[in-house]
Structure 1
Amino acid sequence: MDKATCYTGQDPNGAYYAIAVPKKWNGSLVVHAHGGPDLGEESDPTRSVDDLNRWSVMVDEGYAWAGSSYRRGGYGTRMAAADTEHLRQLFVNEFGMPKRTYVHGQSWGGNVAAKVVEVYGKKNGPYDGALLTNGVLAGGSRGYDYRVDLRVVYQYYCQNLPRPTEPQYPLWQGLRPTSTLTTTGMRARLEECTGYSSAPEARTALQQRNLDDILAVTHIPERTLESHLRFSVFTFRDIVHNRLGDRNPFSNAGVRYTGSHDDAALNAGVERFSADPTARRDLSYDSDLTGRVSIPVLTMHAIDDPTAFVQHEAAYQASLQGAHRDQYLVQTFTEENEHSELSNSEYANSIAALASWVRTGKKPTPKSIAASCPTYDHVHGTGCFYDPGFRPSPYASRVLPRPGGASWPAMTTSQDKAWSRIDGVGIAP
C-alpha cells in the first residue's frame, strides 16, 4: 500500500491483526471491529488484511487503521470487544497515543463496536467516538428472533434439516453438535425444498409454494434467504453448543405466524420451545446493549439492508433513550440495499462528521451530514444516497415479538464485575 506503511502480527491472546499508518497521518486512529462472526476455533490471519483492503477509505482520509481478526472464530461479542481494545493498546504501545481514537464496526461488528463503547468508552477515556454502520444493534437475545422463526418455519415446510431418517434434535440447536453437514449440503437441501437458486419456471409447484410461504411468513428477502438460513443452522450451533454449554437462549413460544397459505396448520405444526433463562441471561450479557454511552455515536444504515434490517436502529435508539443517553446519538439512513458494504463517499463523510462533532462539540444532524457528502463524493465517486427524513419503524414491526420476551434487564455495575470475574470477556472465550 503506497499511501501507508502496513504492519501485521498476532497479539498475546492469539488474535491476528493488521495496522496501517498513512504517510500523511492526520494523527487520529480508527479501530475496526469486523462482522460475522466467522466460524472456527482459530484466529484467521487473512481476515484483518482483507478488512484493511476493504476499509482503506479510512486510510485514504488520513486515519491510521487497526483491525483484529479476534482470538478465535465463533460467537462472543465481549471477547471481540476485548480483542479490539487490546489492539488499540498495542497500537498505542508501538506508535504513541493518537490525537483521537474512533471505533468503527459494521454488521455484527457494529454490535461489537457498540459493546466497546459501553465497556471501554467512558467519558475522557481512550475512545472519542464511534461509527456503527449497518449494525446488528438489537443484541443477541432478540436480534436473531427472525432467524429463530426462519429455522422452525423452514423445517415445517421442508422437513429436511433434519430429514425424518436422520437423528432428530431440537431446532433451537441450529444443528446437532456431531453433524457433518456442510454449507454446500445445506444449500442443496434448501434448493431441494424451494428451488431458490433456480429460475421460477424451473421450480415445481410444491417448491414454489414452499418458497412463497417461507418468505411471506418470515419477511426475509429472497436474495438473502440462504445466508439467513445458514446463520440459523451453523451459527446457532456455535452459540448453543460451543458458547452456552448446550443451553437454549431462544424462544418462539406464543408467536403466531401469519402469511402462509394455511396459517392454522402452520401454527399447529411448527416446533415450539422456550428459552432457558440462564442461557438467555448469558447471551444478553454478552451482546445486548444497555444504552449507557458517554461518547458521540454516529450510525449509518441502508434502509433496505436485507440482512440486518433497518429496524435494528430503532432498537438501538430505544436503548439509549431508556438510559437517558440519546443526546450522544445521531442516526443516518441511506437509500441503499446492501448489507456488507455501503458507498465509500458515505464512509468518508461519516467519519469526518463524527470527527468534527468530537472536535467542536457541535452535534450534526442527518440533514447536515447529507449536505456535506458531495465534497467527499468528488474524491471517491461512489455516490451519496442519504435520506435525512427517514425514521425506522419499531423493531417489533419487522420482527415478531416474543410474548413476555423483553430483553434481559441491564446488569448493574456490581453484576458486571461479578460476571467479569467468571470468564473475563463474556461467553466462553
Structure 2
Amino acid sequence: MKRLLAVLPLLLALLGPAPARAATVTHYTGTLADGATWIADVPAGWHGTLILFSHGFGTLTAADAPSPAAGQALLDRGYALAGSSYDPHGSLWALESAARDQFATLAAVERIIGPARVTIAYGQSMGGLVSTQEAEHPRGGLDAAVSTCGLLGGGIDLNNYQLDGEYALSRLLAPDQDIPLVNYASPADGAAAASRLVAVAAAARETAAGRARVALGTALLNMPTWSAAQATPPADAAGIAQAQYDWFAAAAPFIMPARYFIELSAGGNASWNTGVDYAALVARSPYREMVVTLYRAAGLDLRADLADLTRHASVRADRAAVADLTRSSTVTGRLGVPMLTMHTIYDQLAPVEFENRYAAQARTGLLRRSYVARRGHCAFTTSEQIAAIQAAEHRVRTGRWDDTATTAGLQRAALDLNLGDSPAFTDFRPGPLVSHRRTDKL
C-alpha cells in the first residue's frame, strides 16, 4: 500500500489533468424592451466571471456561447454565460441594437444572479465587431473583451473592400454584362449577381489573361492564400491565385447577398469607389507581387487595367446611409477596457487584414492580438477560445498581460487544458487593409 501511495503522484502526472466534471447548470431566459430575447447559463459552482457572448451575422436567435462544446467547457470550468438575440424586428446586420441589447442582457442577468466579479465580452465575426464596440464604450459593466474573427474594419470598410474586388472582376471580365454590385432589392438579387460573377471568373480562368485578371480581383477581395483543395500553403503566384479564386467562389454566394442586410440597416448603399485610385490600392496590397507576376506571364499591361478601373469607377454612396453606418457600425480604436483579438490567418469572410487596420487605430497597451494557423472563418478550437478568455481574465485580475497574450503563452494555456483539439497559435503579421477610405473625402 505504501509503495502504491508513493507512485500515485507519478501515475497521475503521466495521465495528465483529470477531465472537468459536468457542471450542474441553471438556465435563464428573458425578453428585453425591444423584443430581443436573452439566455443565460450559470453553473452551480460559478466562480464570479461572466462571459457576455455576441453572436455573428445570419441569425437573430439568442446564443451565449460560440459553440455547444465551448459553452460546456466554460460551464465545466465555472464560467457563467449570457447573450441576446439582438432586436428581432430589424436587419440581420444588427448593429443598430446589438451593443444596447447585450448590456441590457447583462443587467437583466445580474438582477437575477447578482453582480459578476469579472465580466468579459466575447464576440465572433459580426459579434467580434459588437464586442469591440462594447470595449470602446464599456458603460461601467465590462472589464475586458475578446474579439474573435472580428469585422474590425467596421461595416463601411467591409462593404468597400468587397466592392473593390467585385468591381474589378466585373469591369475587367464582363464589362458589357452590367452585373449589379450594390442597391440590392433582396438577398436573392445579391445571390443572382454572385452566381453571374463566379461564372464569369470561372470561365476567365481558362486563359492566362483571365487568370491574371481574376487574381487582381481576388487580391482586392483579400481572399486567403491557402484553400481547402491545397495540401500545403502555396508559395508560387499561380498557387496563391488558385487559392484566392477557390475562396472567392465559395464566399461570393454569402457575401454578396449579405450586402442587402447592411444596406437595409443603413437605409441605402454606404459604399463607393468614385475617386478611388486602383493603382494606389494595388501598390499597397500584400498580394501585389502575385498580381504583377501573373500579368507579366500573360503579357498584359497591369497599369492599363488599373487605369481602366480608376477611370470607370462610378459607384456613389448614399450620404445618409454612410452617416448611419458610421454611427452604428464602425469603431474608433479608443478602448475603454483591455481587449484581446484572435484571428485565423486564412479567413475568407473577415480578412486578417482587418487586424492591421484596427491596430493602426488603437495604438494602445490595452490591445493585444493573436493569430491561429488555420483555414476558415471563426475556425477556432475550444482550447483556443478558452485560452483567449483566460488571458483576458488574467489582465483584469492583475492589471498586466504578462505573457498570457503572447503566442507562446496562449499555446501553452490551450495545451494545458488537455482537450485534445490541437491548438495552433502562431506568430503572424498581417498586411494592410488597402480599401479603407475616409468618409470626409466623399
Deviation at 1:282, TM superposition (A): 2.4
Find the counterpart in structure 2 of residue 255 from structure 1. Answer: 277
Please say if 1:172 is aligned against 2:172.
Answer: no
Choose the corresponding residue for 2:268, options 246, 255, 262: 246
- Gap change, CA 1:142 and 1:180, over 3 Å in 2: closer
The CA distance in 1 between the partners of 2:69 and 2:215, in whole Å, is 31
Instruction: Report Cα offsets for 1:134-172 as digits up to 9, x if no partner.
Output: 211112222332201123123335659x956xxx86x33
Please say if 1:68 is aligned against 2:84.
Answer: yes
- Gap change, CA 1:400 and 1:262, over 3 Å in 2: farther
Find the counterpart in structure 1 of residue 438 from structure 2. Answer: 406
Deviation at 1:369, TM superposition (A): 5.6
Choose the corresponding residue for 1:142, options 134, 153, 157: 157
Q: TM-score, normalised by structure 1?
A: 0.76
- Gap change, CA 1:9 and 1:341, over 3 Å in 2: farther
Deviation at 1:130, TM superposition (A): 0.4
The answer for unaligned runs of 5 or more in structure 2 is 1-21, 224-243, 283-290
* Matched-pair contact (CA < 8 Å) for 2:41–2:82: yes
Find the counterpart in structure 2 of residue 213 from structure 1. Answer: 213
Find the counterpart in structure 1 of residue 393 from structure 2. Answer: 355
- Gap change, CA 1:178 and 1:351, over 3 Å in 2: closer
- Gap change, CA 1:384 and 1:151, over 3 Å in 2: same
Partner AA of 1:383 in structure 2: S
Deviation at 1:363, TM superposition (A): 2.1
Query: Could you say what secondary structure the match of 1:379 adopts?
Result: coil
Find the counterpart in structure 1 of residue 308 from structure 2. Answer: 268
* Matched-pair contact (CA < 8 Å) for 1:150–1:229: no
* Matched-pair contact (CA < 8 Å) for 2:194–2:252: no
The count of aligned residue pairs is 373
Query: Could you say what secondary structure the match of 2:132 adopts?
Result: helix
Aligned pairs (5 A) from 1:318-357: 318-321=360-363, 326-357=364-395
The CA distance in 1 between the partners of 2:105 and 2:351, in whole Å, is 30
* Matched-pair contact (CA < 8 Å) for 2:65–2:81: no
Please say if 1:89 is aligned against 2:98.
Answer: no
The CA distance in 2 between the partners of 1:363 and 1:55, in whole Å, is 23
Choose the corresponding residue for 1:29, options 50, 65, 72: 50
The CA distance in 2 between the partners of 1:367 and 1:81, in whole Å, is 25
Find the counterpart in structure 2 of residue 58 from structure 1. Answer: 74
Partner AA of 2:40 in structure 1: I
Find the counterpart in structure 2 of residue 109 from structure 1. Answer: 127
The CA distance in 1 between the partners of 2:144 and 2:214, in whole Å, is 40
* Matched-pair contact (CA < 8 Å) for 2:344–2:378: no
Query: Could you say what secondary structure the match of 1:102 adopts?
Result: strand
Which shows bigger deviation, 63-72 or 216-225?
Answer: 216-225
Query: Could you say what secondary structure the match of 2:63 adopts?
Result: helix
Larger radius of gyration: 2
The CA distance in 1 between the partners of 2:321 and 2:426, in whole Å, is 39
Find the counterpart in structure 1 of residue 142 from structure 2. Answer: 127
The CA distance in 2 between the partners of 1:16 and 1:336, in whole Å, is 33
The CA distance in 1 between the partners of 2:172 and 2:206, in whole Å, is 10
Please say if 1:192 is aligned against 2:199.
Answer: yes
Query: Could you say what secondary structure the match of 2:278 adopts?
Result: coil
Partner AA of 1:373 in structure 2: Q
Find the counterpart in structure 1 of residue 8 from structure 2. Answer: none
Query: Could you say what secondary structure the match of 1:48 adopts?
Result: coil
Choose the corresponding residue for 2:420, options 354, 360, 381: 381
Find the counterpart in structure 1 of residue 238 from structure 2. Answer: none
The CA distance in 1 between the partners of 2:167 and 2:255, in whole Å, is 10
The CA distance in 2 between the partners of 1:86 and 1:383, in whole Å, is 36
Partner AA of 2:272 in structure 1: F
- Gap change, CA 1:30 and 1:248, over 3 Å in 2: closer
- Gap change, CA 1:191 and 1:304, over 3 Å in 2: closer
Instruction: Report Cα offsets for 1:280-325 as digits up to 9, x if no partner.
Output: 232222222112222111111222223222221121112112xxxx
The CA distance in 2 between the partners of 1:113 and 1:302, in whole Å, is 18
Find the counterpart in structure 2 of residue 10 from structure 1. Answer: 31
The CA distance in 1 between the partners of 2:56 and 2:123, in whole Å, is 7
Instruction: Report Cα offsets for 1:235-279 as digits up to 9, x if no partner.
Output: 322323x23333544335333266465643575365422434443
Partner AA of 2:262 in structure 1: I
Find the counterpart in structure 1 of residue 333 from structure 2. Answer: 291
Instruction: Report Cα offsets for 1:169-202 as digits up to 9, x if no partner.
Output: 6x332x2x1685474x55643553344xxxxxxx
Partner AA of 2:169 in structure 1: Y
Deviation at 1:50, TM superposition (A): 8.0
Query: Could you say what secondary structure the match of 1:380 adopts?
Result: coil
- Gap change, CA 1:373 and 1:60, over 3 Å in 2: farther
Find the counterpart in structure 2 of residue 310 from structure 1. Answer: 352
Deviation at 1:101, TM superposition (A): 0.7
Find the counterpart in structure 2 of residue 418 from structure 1. Answer: none
Identity %: 25
* Matched-pair contact (CA < 8 Å) for 2:347–2:375: yes
- Gap change, CA 1:182 and 1:74, over 3 Å in 2: same
Instruction: Report Cα offsets for 1:199-229 as digits up to 9, x if no partner.
Output: xxxx686588656523333312234314543
Query: Could you say what secondary structure the match of 1:130 adopts?
Result: strand
Find the counterpart in structure 2 of residue 234 from structure 1. Answer: 257
Query: Could you say what secondary structure the match of 1:31 adopts?
Result: strand
Q: TM-score, normalised by structure 2?
A: 0.74
- Gap change, CA 1:101 and 1:407, over 3 Å in 2: farther
